Amino acid sequence: MRSYKIFLLGGFLLLSGMANAADDIAAEAPQQTAFARTIDKASETLMYALSLVGVNYKYGGKSPETGLDCSGFVSHVYRQAAGLILPHNARAISLFGQKIAISELQPGDLVFYNTMRHAYSHVGIYLGDNRFIHSARTGSGVEVVDMNESYWVKRFNGARRVVTSRLPFAASNE
């Protein structure tokens, strides 16, 4: 009888511990889910951006069918892949999100360059490994380039992390 009571007590303690563990897991789930959603959005954004490699450049272009300029490319990618509405202007896009140092770059961050003799005149999406994707000019269209090329190093203006909760003027489908 005594071993039966010990068995029941042990079973009760085991189940109590599982209930507490389940409560702990349930309490952590919303944070993990939000983090997982952020990772999924970044992955979707990068995959969609890469699917557009080779699309023609068109000044003022907003769609892959007719061509994209740099800001048209970035705003199109973020709208389609993340449901985020960004302006169609590199300088205006540079006002969104959180400013970050080049050493803090993560895939999906935006990188800005001075390509027309004024700051923030060009924008692309950072892919990782010092590479970014952008729509640069007639003849090249959407392409992946190395940020360490001297042309880009000399013209780098900064980077921003586009976080929907920090975008007071952007609309999101979430």
| Positions marked active-site | 70, 122, 134
Q: Which residues are CB-neighbours of 15 under 8 A, at least 6 positions away?
A: none
Q: What angle do helix axes 70-82 and 2-51 make, rounded to 10 degrees?
A: 150
Residue at 69: amino acid letter? D
* Distance of alpha carbon 138 from alpha carbon 51, whole angstroms: 19
Separation of CA 164 from chain center: 10
Extended beta strands in the chain, E state: 62-63, 67-68, 98-100, 110-113, 122-128, 131-135, 142-146, 156-161
